[in-house]
Each structure stands twice: as C-alpha cells, then as structure tokens.
Structure 1
Amino acid sequence: MKKYIIYIGILTTGLISGWLLFGNSSNVEENHNHETSQTENQQWTCSMHPQIMQPEPGDCPICGMDLIPAETSADGLTANEFKMSTNALALANIETTVIGFNTTPKEGLFLVGKIKENEKTNAIQTAHFGGRIEKLFVNSTGEMVTKGQPLALIYSPELVTAQKELLTASEIKNSDVSLYNAVKNKLKLWKLSENQIHKIEKSKTIITNFPVYANVTGVVSTKMVEEGTYIKEGQGLFTIANLTTVWANFDAYEKQLSSIQLGDEIRITTNANPNKEFKAKISFIDPILNTLTRTVTVRAELNNPKGTLKPGMFIKGFITPSNTKNNQQKTLIIPKSAVLWTGERSVVYVKKEGLEPVFEMREVTLGNEIGNSYEILDGLYEQEEIVTNGTFTIDAAAQLQGKKSMMNTKSGNVITGHENHIGMQETSNLEETTNSIEQINVPLKFQQQLHEVLLAYLQVKDALVNDNSNVAQKEASILLKNLQLVDMKLLTENKSHKLWMTLLNKLTTSAKEIEITNDIKAQRNSFISLSNNITKSVESFGANQKVYKQFCPMANSDKGAIWLSLNENIENPYYGEMMLKCGVVQATIE
C-alpha cells in the first residue's frame, strides 16, 4: 500500500511540473501563431490597379509598379475619410505638408496668339460705277499699292452716256449753266476729278475704258474680281490693309481673365525673331467667351513701320499686372503635386489630427498657377496638413476601402476605372478612335513633309515617356516649325485641302499648348488632342512610315487615349515611369 502511495505522489508531481513547464508556452505559441497569421493574411495591391491582390510584396503584373499593403478596414469613419497604417504610409513614401498663407509677388501670365491685320486701317476699294473689268493692274494678293495708283480699267455704258451728256451740255453752258453743272456734278459723284472732266471737254473725246485709282496706300489682302467680271456700282474690288500698325491677338483662358486688365503692359516675341521684344498695352478684351475653346481674345496694337510683323505669325506674350501699388498679395498656395484633377473636379487629401493616420478627400477650387503651386480659392484652410507626395497611392487606398475618391464620387461601390483593363479591351469613348478614316491620295512630296511632322511628334512623345517636360517643350517648338513647312498648296483637291486645314489648326493649337508650359500634367492633357489629330493625318494621307497606333484605357480620365509609336513595345507617354507598360497596340498603320 505504501508503495502505491509513493507512485501516485510521483505521478502527481510530474503532472504539476509538466503544466508549469509547458502550459504557459502554449499561450505564447498561440499568440505567436496569431501574429504570424496576421502577417500571412496581409494582402498587397497596386495603387493604379486595385483589382490586383497578392499575398506578398512584388511588382504589379499589369504596369510593373511596386505593390503596396492593402488596407482592410476603415470602420467608424465618414464617406470622405479612410485609415492607413503607419507601415503602409512608410512603404508608399507618403509625404504631407502643413499649408499656410504666403505673401508673394503677383506673377504675370504667358499667352500665345497670332499677328492680325489692324481692321481699323483696312479699306475696301470699290467701283464707283458699274461695268465690265477690261484690265487689272493688280493681279494677286500681297502686292503693295500706293494712293492714286491705277488698279483697273472698267468699261461702263453709263459713264459713256454721261460723257456724251457732258459734251452736249458744254456746248450750251452759256445759255443753260444749270444743266451743265448738273451733268458735271453727276460725273464728280462717280469720283471723276476736275482735271479729268476738263480733259474730256477739251479733247471732246469719250473715254471708253475708265481707270480706277487706289484710295489708300497698303497691301492687297483680298482680291475679289478677275478680268472680264461684270460689277455693279459700289461693288468691292480689293481689300487693302495698311500694315504700318497690326494687332497682336492672344487667347486667354477663363481662369486667367481675373489677372488681365485694360492697360496692362504686355511683352511680345515672335517665333521668327525670338530675341527681339515688342512692348505694348492691352487695348481690348473681348466681352464674349468662345464656348468651343473656352477662351477670350485679348488684343494689343503694335507699330510696324518696316513690315517685320506679318499677319499670321505665331507670337508669345507675357503680361505684367499694371497696378504695381498692390503688387503683393496674400494667397493660400499648395504644391501642384498635391492636386488630383479629373477635368471637372480638383481633389486633395487632408490628414486629420489624431493618433492614427486618417485622411479625408476634399474638393478644392483652384486659382491661378504660381510657379509650381496653385492658388486655393476655396476648400482648404490655413494650417491644415495635406498629402504632397504619393497622392495617387492615397487615392487608390480610398478606392480599395470603398470610400469617395478622385474616380468614385459615391462611397460603397468602388469604381476603379480599370474594370476592362485586364484583358485590355478597347473601351475608348473618343470619337477619334472609333471613326473609320478614309485614305486620300496626296503627292509624295506632301507625304515626305508630313513624315517630318510625324518624327517631331514622336520626339515629343518620347520626352513625355521619359517624364521630361523641358525636352517636351523644345520638341514641341520643332514640331511647330515642321508644321509651318508643310506646303498645303500641294493639295490640289478641295477635300484634302480642307481636311489638312482643319487638322493643321488643331495640331498647331496642341503643340503650342505643350510648348508654353513645363507642367507635364498639362502637356500630357494637350498631347491627347495632338495624338488624335496626328493619327488622323497619318491615316488619311500616309507618311511613308510604318507606325503602331497604341491605346491606354485609363488615360484621359478613364475615357482612354491613343498615341503613335515606331516600336511595337508599349511605352506609355501619359504616365511615363509611373505606369510605363500600360497599354495595347490597337492597330498598325502602314
């Protein structure tokens, strides 16, 4: 019996020792396993393609960007607010800045435009009597004429009859002076001079072809008649422009109008002579907005005694505000990198005060550009902390949590804008990418000139691929020069000529917009129109070059955008290094 008691004691002691040694370790192991399971459950996603979810970090299989930790919960927050972990912020390289009012000098504005004839000095040379044009002494536009110079010879039956009446009246003028004076005054109303009337009386010879003399000195800008044309009294023959003064017409956007006033000084340079500067004052601001371009014409008048400024020249202008007394202004400004712009809305992300990183999407109203910053008119307040680096990543995190974001105005349904991106289906809403293009036969020389335009366009594209806005500006200048060298006179058919005129205007406008700014976001926005119209040009006329028409469905605010490339490999100019391989080859243009 005593032996059994000893065995039971030993067993009991062993059980107690085992519990003391291994009981707590099971809890430790359980806690350890719980932490491990949390790590194992961490999902990783792409900031630009939120539909990508992977259990470990790596590269996005679509665009090659580094994956970031995906947030799984944002409980207790408003529709505009969401939460990110400190670890996720560090991995995504998110930076924030406290904003405040800055007292900065008012900066001027850059505008682009063209030289135009001064309409106030234009004159229309009319026929003072009806008849048939027998001879034109001025046969083309651009010819210089001086006041009193003969322009044409006109046969006028009415004038022949009036001369016969003059000769008859002159024989009886001593007995009937009133009749003589009436006939003479009739000829004066037809702009015959006293000397001409006296010559007819003295020679007693009727002039059948009567000369028309220039009323003003200037350049013929419009020719309205040809030899043999029958004209009526008062009908226009020529438009004569006096180019000793010209207009400098600029296009100003809506948001720039608050900084432009009558009397502001503007410094003007031309593409033909960029080193020479002309100074003038703003003399006219068009009261009507162009609803198609959303611009207003701003005008200055320039003296042009030597004719160096020619109508049609491209020009640049820099406006300095005239009210120098108030040349300082207190403005709330934020870096451009903080703003996500959808075309209709401008969005920033505000970091809320608290222990955990919580962000709120905020729509703001932008004012003028000030260097690399925007003026804030509404939506933000002094001393608020906003995201200034990694804004796209923050926006993607909001999308993943079903919160309001740049591309999702309603919370609950996460709209990424890339639902069709996997598989790369062509979902562009652009009219330019859906319309069929009719090929037009044009001379080989025109194709060669268009080929030079295409090569310059490709240089602009490569600069945007490399995220280099300064190079894009320089290449856009070369593109503009190549566009000017295209000889549209080679297009003899009316259809091809009109099409190129339309495309040339759009190409020039887009290239100028890229040339005048080093804001790569604005350049890429203008590159959309530039690509659409260079593609139309190549598809319509050909350019002696095989090119690939490529497409990104998420560019242009998810409407999609195209571009041309000589290489079949995708290099996206709308996102550059951030999403270099996003896109597909849509077509090959031989």
Structure 2
Amino acid sequence: MNKLIYIILLFAVFFAACNKKPKPIVDQQNKAYYTCSMHPQVHEDHDGNCPICGMKLIRVELTDAASANTITLNATQLLLAGIQTDTIREENTGIEKTLSGTVTTNENTSAEFSARLPGRVQQLFVRAVGEKVTIGQPVYSLYSEDLQEAEKEYLLAKQQQKVLHNPDIDYNQLISAAENKLKLWGLSVSQIKSLAATQKVAATTTILSNVTGTVSDIAVHEGDYVTEGMTVLKTQGLNNLWVEAQLYASEAENYKENALVNVSFPDLGGQIIKGKVEFINPELSEASKVDLIRISIPNPQGLIRPGMQAYIALSGGNNRSLAVSASAILTNSNGSVVWVKNTNGSFSPRMIKTGAGNQNYLPILSGVSAGDVVVTIGAYLLNSEAIFKKGSDQMDGMKM
C-alpha cells in the first residue's frame, strides 16, 4: 500500500513539472542605459531625471556584447567633454629643443582709430576693453563746429544747384568737393545721403569705426575734447597671434624663417598646433646675448590668449616616422592605449606599442595605422566613462 502511494505521488510530480511553462531567460546585459550629460557618472537602467541636478537623463545604446569597449557620445556630451582628435601620419620624432615662450598680440593685425576732426565727445558707444568692433559700427558721437560748417557748405551747394542754375558755376564740382570733405572727416555714404534728404544739420554726429578687431585700449572719455589725429581707441586682431621666445645665438643659425614648428599650451591641456617661424632677430640682446625668435600661430576659435605660456618644439634633426601624439596616450602597468574614433562616430580603446620619440610625438611600432583618427584631448574622460560602463579599466585583459 505504501509503495502504491509512493508511485502515485511520483507521477503527480512528473506531470506537474511537464505542465509548468518554462520562464524566459532574462538577459542580464542591458542593451542601453541612461545617464546625465552634466554628470556622466550617473548610470540608470530606466528613464527619468538626474538625481544630482534634476536634468532629464539621456539614453545611451549598447548594440551588442562586442560594444562593451565602445563609447558612443551624443553631440552635447562631445561638446561638454571637449573631445579633440588627430590623424595618424608621419611626424618628426627626432630630438627636439623646447623653448619656453609667451603669447603676444600680432602687431601686424593691430589698428588705431583716431579722430579726424576736433570736437567734444558727447557719448561713447564703445566703453570697455575686450569689446569687438567692426567697420561701420558707431564709436562715439561728436559735437564739432567745424563739421557743422562743412555740412552747411554741402547743403548750400545742393540748394544753389537746385535754385540758381548759374551756367558759369560748376555746381557738381562744388557738391563733390563738399561731399569729399565730409567723407574725409569720417561720414559714411549713408550719413551723407541722410543729410541731403533731411537738409538739417544735427547738433552732434555719430562717428563710425573704420577698423575691425578687439579693443585693447580706449583713450578718451565722454566730455573730452579731441583734436585731429588724437587716438580714440586701439584694436588688435586675435585670430592670429605671436609666440615669442629666446634662444642662444649659436642655435639661431639652425632655424630658418617660414619653417613649421609645433607649439603646445599647458593651459589648454597640452594642445599642439602648427606654427610658422616668422622672424628671427638679426641683432642680439646686448644684456643677455640671446636672440629673439617669433612664431606666428592661428587662433580661429579664440582659445589662445595673449599672456599664455607656450612651448615651442624646434627640431634638431629630421627623423620622420609614423607617429602618434604624446597627449593621446594613456599608460599604466598593462601598457599604452589610445582611443580611436570609429567610422560610425563611436570611440574604442586600442593597445599600442611606441618607440622613443620627443615630448610631442612618439613613433608607432604597432597597434594603429596611418589614417586612424585618435583622441588627443579627452581620452581620460572616455576611459573614465568606459570604467563606469564596464566596471574595470579598459586596458585590463587587452592584447596587442
């Protein structure tokens, strides 16, 4: 009897197990996570707001298991991270001499705006150093009796031509002479046309800028009297700057004007740009017996400012090879790694081997090829993001 009961219970358990539906296997690897553009350390598995700043979280896709080492950033994250890249190519990896220099303004782009006629400054429209001015922009309003008389002469010549019709007088010549005088004193064509249309001489006249640049000095104040030729303000162009440094006379003969050099800026994370040797002083300093060298550098984004420290790498040899920027390399006990930009815009780490080079470029022995695009600024941020994502350093377990 006990044996029969045991067999019945066994069959009951078997049929219950057969009728039970299997539970689907849950993929433990998330296909996406949510993070904050301002606080990338935040990682959530659901949509919502950032627990730190309250901003809406953004979705970051993980396409598959192979993407565990791949980081994809949206446009906002790229902007905030300040990611900058460079292409692998041949560079001079030979010994370089590094000079410490200082960024200065390019005097060739400096300009001075001067008063063209005497008068009293009623109102200044450009008030602060650092403001940008363009040609045609109002600079100040001027009360000038001389200008008022010139405007009256112009209106009188126009009126005489219209009323008198004297064949012995060349009214066009009179009008042209009066108009040219106004132009020489700083009035624009539109201002002269407006004067002719209203036929009224205003108490003050707005003087427009004939220079473009960033204001470096303002020499007058409201209420000041200006004379002809007196400096009103000075401007400088910041799209192209100089880096000035000193080197010994025995070294100056090794460098030629128009030669290209690498210039780096510690205040910009070691960013390297190409500069051109524009000037080498033919005369030595009497006190120190050193020579002045001047490098011209582009500054289209305005990141470089006068007064910044700069390092100029002057090549002592010409040992060119396939090279990677030193600022792109992350190194630990496992070796060296760079972050490579993929064709789809994502970033992946890659182990590399390098040889001995200089402080700017190292020769590549393996790991990357010519044409690969590597991150030169922002690699540490990508590595930190990858650690948050994977939970370990991206170089752990990687092989060449």
The answer to whether the aligner puts 1:228 opposite 2:216 as a matched pair is: no
- Asked which structure has the greater RCO (Cα within 8 Å, sep 6+), the reply is 2
Q: Is the 8 A contact 2:94 2:319 kept in 1?
A: no
Q: Is the 8 A contact 2:95 2:317 kept in 1?
A: no
Q: Is the 8 A contact 1:264 1:322 kept in 2?
A: no
- Structure 2 counterpart of 1:122, which letter? S
Structure 1 distance, partners of 2:208, 2:284, is 41
Q: Encode CA deviations 1:179-226: one digit per residue, 9 max, x unaligned.
A: 232222211221322322221122121122111212233210121212
The answer to whether the aligner puts 1:253 opposite 2:253 as a matched pair is: no
Structure 2 distance, partners of 1:167, 1:137, is 28
Shift of 1:315: 0.9
What is the SS of the residue equivalent to 1:125? strand
- Structure 1 counterpart of 2:125, which letter? F
Matched residue, 2:102: 114
The answer to whether the aligner puts 1:159 opposite 2:147 as a matched pair is: yes
Q: Is the 8 A contact 1:265 1:322 kept in 2?
A: no
Shift of 1:273: 1.4
Structure 2 distance, partners of 1:142, 1:244, is 14
Q: Encode CA deviations 1:483-508: one digit per residue, 9 max, x unaligned.
A: xxxxxxxxxxxxxxxxxxxxxxxxxx
- Structure 2 counterpart of 1:203, which letter? T
Percent identity for Structure 1 against Structure 2: 31
Q: Is the 8 A contact 1:245 1:302 kept in 2?
A: yes
Shift of 1:313: 0.8
Shift of 1:241: 0.8
Matched residue, 1:130: 118
Shift of 1:128: 1.9
Matched residue, 2:29: none
Structure 2 distance, partners of 1:238, 1:116, is 19
Matched residue, 1:198: 193
Q: Is the 8 A contact 2:187 2:208 kept in 1?
A: no
1:211-290, aligned counterparts within 5 Å? 211-290=206-285
Q: Is the 8 A contact 1:264 1:319 kept in 2?
A: no
Structure 2 distance, partners of 1:275, 1:168, is 65
**What is the TM-score with the length of structure 1 in the denominator?**
0.36
The answer to whether the aligner puts 1:139 opposite 2:127 as a matched pair is: yes
Q: Which moved more, 1:126-135 or 1:179-188?
A: 179-188
What is the SS of the residue equivalent to 1:261? coil
Stretches of structure 2 lacking an aligned partner (at least 5 in a row): 1-92, 321-357, 359-400
Q: Is the 8 A contact 2:186 2:207 kept in 1?
A: no
Shift of 1:232: 1.5
Q: Is the 8 A contact 1:131 1:157 kept in 2?
A: yes
Q: Is the 8 A contact 1:286 1:296 kept in 2?
A: yes
RMSD: 2.3
1:73-84, aligned counterparts within 5 Å? none
Q: Is the 8 A contact 1:114 1:250 kept in 2?
A: yes
1:147-186, aligned counterparts within 5 Å? 147-173=135-161, 174-175=165-166, 176=169, 177=171, 178-186=173-181
Structure 2 distance, partners of 1:258, 1:292, is 20
Q: Encode CA deviations 1:520-570: one digit per residue, 9 max, x unaligned.
A: xxxxxxxxxxxxxxxxxxxxxxxxxxxxxxxxxxxxxxxxxxxxxxxxxxx
Q: Encode CA deviations 1:355-389: one digit per residue, 9 max, x unaligned.
A: xxxxxxxxxxxxxxxx9xxxxxxxxxxxxxxxxxx
Q: Is the 8 A contact 1:265 1:321 kept in 2?
A: no
Structure 2 distance, partners of 1:187, 1:261, is 48
1:27-46, aligned counterparts within 5 Å? none
- Structure 2 counterpart of 1:167, which letter? L
> CA distance change for structure 1 residues 309 and 321 in 2, over 3 Å: closer, same or farther?
same
Q: Is the 8 A contact 2:187 2:207 kept in 1?
A: no
Structure 2 distance, partners of 1:262, 1:182, is 48
> CA distance change for structure 1 residues 167 and 322 in 2, over 3 Å: closer, same or farther?
farther
Matched residue, 2:308: 313
> CA distance change for structure 1 residues 228 and 201 in 2, over 3 Å: closer, same or farther?
same
Q: Encode CA deviations 1:265-295: one digit per residue, 9 max, x unaligned.
A: 3211113113211112212101121222332
Structure 2 distance, partners of 1:255, 1:185, is 56
Matched residue, 2:352: none
Structure 1 distance, partners of 2:275, 2:179, is 49
Matched residue, 1:99: none
> CA distance change for structure 1 residues 306 and 207 in 2, over 3 Å: closer, same or farther?
same
Structure 2 distance, partners of 1:122, 1:219, is 9
Shift of 1:323: 6.4
Q: Is the 8 A contact 1:263 1:322 kept in 2?
A: no
Q: Is the 8 A contact 2:257 2:277 kept in 1?
A: yes
Shift of 1:309: 0.8
What is the SS of the residue equivalent to 2:271? coil
Q: Encode CA deviations 1:235-274: one digit per residue, 9 max, x unaligned.
A: 2211111111111111112333233222333211113113
Matched residue, 2:287: 292
Structure 2 distance, partners of 1:265, 1:199, is 52
Shift of 1:321: 4.3
Matched residue, 1:525: none
> CA distance change for structure 1 residues 266 and 183 in 2, over 3 Å: closer, same or farther?
same
> CA distance change for structure 1 residues 182 and 264 in 2, over 3 Å: closer, same or farther?
closer
Structure 2 distance, partners of 1:137, 1:313, is 30
Matched residue, 1:420: none
Q: Is the 8 A contact 1:260 1:321 kept in 2?
A: no
Shift of 1:314: 1.1
Shift of 1:156: 1.1
- Structure 2 counterpart of 1:257, which letter? A
Matched residue, 2:54: none
Shift of 1:234: 2.3
- Structure 1 counterpart of 2:129, which letter? T
Q: Is the 8 A contact 1:266 1:317 kept in 2?
A: yes
Structure 1 distance, partners of 2:313, 2:270, is 14
Asked which structure has the greater CA Rg, the reply is 1
1:6-25, aligned counterparts within 5 Å? none
